[in-house]
Amino acid sequence: MTRRAAPEASRPAEPPSVPRPRSAEEIARAQKLRLKRTYLGVATHVGGTLIVLSYFAAGLLDLRHLLHYLLGITLVCGAFVGLILSNLNLRFRDPSMTAAQVIVTMWPATYVMYFVTLPQGRTPFMLMGVVGVLFGVFALNFRRMLMVCAVVFLTYTGVVMAIARAAPERVDVRVEAVSACAFAVVMVLITYIGSYMAALRRTVRDRNARLQEANRRLEEAMEELRELATRDHLTRLPNRRSALEHLAQRTSGPPQAPAPGARVCVALLDIDHFKRVNDLYGHHVGDLVLRHASRALQEALHTGEFVGRYGGEEFLLILSATGAASVQAAAQRIRAALAEVRAEGLPETHRLSASLGVTFYSPGESLEATLERTDRALYRAKQGGRDRAVLDEGVSAGGWVALA
């Protein structure tokens, strides 16, 4: 008998995705966009105000009702702008307050529409209502667009019914019925088209968000690749290639010495008898020693100096020194830092020591020649008993100086 597949209900439900917290910069950018849209809505109400003023100029509206409208529309628009400027809108479920702005800002116009004496005078307010509903395209889905359109339509029909009851002579039932039917059709069409456009905007926004996330991950991957290409995986110091590139930059162009009279000084450091550490205590301890030694070298360097892993237990250092005395001080500083290195698995009595070969870069000399002289100086330090530094004073001097 074949085993039946487990029903979907018995499978563990996937945990809901937790939205990523928005940064202060993202919130500020969203608030700026909401304020811009609100100002655009205020501009449309300026157009509505011009219509009301034209009614007053034509004698279709008295001064008292005009002043009531101006006060009402100013207070309403100012309230929405103030909520955004004070960030109080962020406490609402819909921080853009799109539906509220469409509905509330039409109330002053509805008030005026009730007092306009000619029935034909109500038509411009229907058109302004359509313009206001179009702002729902920015944020509303189909259901909310339908709700806003229904409120606008019911408000219009409510005003007409109130006029019919208070002053029946101002209402032609047949004309008003046709107008209401046409208005309803327009509202439905706006709901459909507006929700479709809003869905397109959401799709574009989601795709942009996914694209930004993909770009962020790509940048992180590229940064990781750069790290892998330029950093030693064990010590996290610049690797041999990166160290040589850094040396090439330091020796090309004008001197980059931090102190007057300082010259670019190249050193190769080799940890003495490191093979014994691996043989006696294991490669794991050897790796720990290299990590701690790398950190000690970084901390021992002065501003403008550099250290990178050259290979194995060898390190390339770029120092700034003026002569043998300053090179000796730098070598003692570095060797003293290594002597303090401790690592898990390494006996307390074990002290790290290092041999250094040091030379000054001679302008015009190839890096290969400089490194070759540095390597010979390191060989002399090892041959001289290790735990010391040997300085090659340069091509012009041609001498060797043993630095204890």
Express the helix, strand and coil content of the chain in percent, nearest 5 each.
Answer: 65, 10, 25
C-alpha dist (Å) from residue 50 to 54, 71, 304: 6, 14, 69
Domain annotation covers residue 225: no
Which residue, 268, 269, 270, 280, is CA-closest to 343? 280
Shared-domain flag, residues 103 and 180 = yes
Domain annotation covers residue 19: no
Domain annotation covers residue 228: no
Shared-domain flag, residues 132 and 278 = no
pLDDT band at 224 (very low <50, low <70, confident <90, very high): confident
Which residue, 157, 151, 159, is CA-closest to 182? 157
Predicted pLDDT of residue 184: 84
pLDDT band at 23 (very low <50, low <70, confident <90, very high): confident
Shared-domain flag, residues 160 and 302 = no
Shared-domain flag, residues 193 and 259 = no
Shared-domain flag, residues 368 and 265 = yes
Token code pair at residue 185 = 């059709």
Kindly report the backbone phi and psi dihedral angles of residue 358, in degrees, each rounded to the nearest multiple of 5, phi listed first: -130, 145
For residues 383-399, give the mean pLDDT: 78
Owning domain of residue 390: 240-403
Which residue, 142, 35, 117, 131, is CA-closest to 83? 35
Domain annotation covers residue 338: yes
When mean pLDDT is compared over 136-140, 158-162, 336-340, the highest value belongs to 336-340
Round to whole Å and give the CA distance between 274 and 379: 16
Element (H, E) at 354: strand 354-360
The domain boundary residue, chosen from 215, 248, 281: 215
Round to whole Å and give the CA distance between 137 and 50: 25
Domain annotation covers residue 251: yes
Shared-domain flag, residues 122 and 246 = no
Predicted pLDDT of residue 4: 45
Shared-domain flag, residues 208 and 270 = no
Contact predicate 156/190, CB 8 Å? no
Does residue 396 have a pLDDT over 60? no
Bridge-based pairing state of the strands 389-392 and 354-360: parallel
Shared-domain flag, residues 75 and 126 = yes
Indicate if 313 belongs to the active site: yes
Element (H, E) at 29: helix 24-57
The residue with greater pLDDT, 124 or 153, is 153
Predicted pLDDT of residue 313: 94
- Share of residues in the chain with pLDDT > 70 (%): 89
The model's pTM = 0.52
The domain total for the chain is 2
Q: 42-48 long-range CB contacts below 8 Å, 24 or more apart?
A: 42/77, 42/81, 44/128, 44/131, 44/132, 44/135, 45/73, 45/77, 45/105, 47/128, 48/73, 48/109, 48/125, 48/128
For residues 304-330, give the mean pLDDT: 92
Round to whole Å and give the CA distance between 253 and 259: 17
Does residue 404 have a pLDDT over 80? no
Round to whole Å and give the CA distance between 66 and 317: 83
Kindly report the backbone phi and psi dihedral angles of residue 16, in degrees, each rounded to the nearest multiple of 5, phi listed first: -65, 145
Shared-domain flag, residues 99 and 200 = yes
Domain annotation covers residue 18: no
The single residue of 25, 313, 344, 368 carrying the catalytic annotation is 313
Question: What does DSSP assign to residue 12?
Answer: P
When mean pLDDT is compared over 81-85, 171-175, 320-324, the highest value belongs to 81-85
Shared-domain flag, residues 150 and 284 = no
DSSP string for residues in 285-334: HHHHHHHHHHHHHHHHPPTT-EEEEEETTEEEEEEEESSHHHHHHHHHHH
- The tens digit of pLDDT for each residue in 197-216 reads 777 878 888 899 899 999 99
Amino acid at 112: V
Shared-domain flag, residues 331 and 189 = no
Domain annotation covers residue 229: no
- The tens digit of pLDDT for each residue in 359-389 reads 999 888 899 999 999 999 999 999 999 999 9
Domain annotation covers residue 1: no
Residue 331's domain is classified under what CATH number? Answer: 3.30.70.270
- The tens digit of pLDDT for each residue in 76-111 reads 999 999 999 999 999 988 888 888 888 888 888 888
Shared-domain flag, residues 34 and 87 = yes
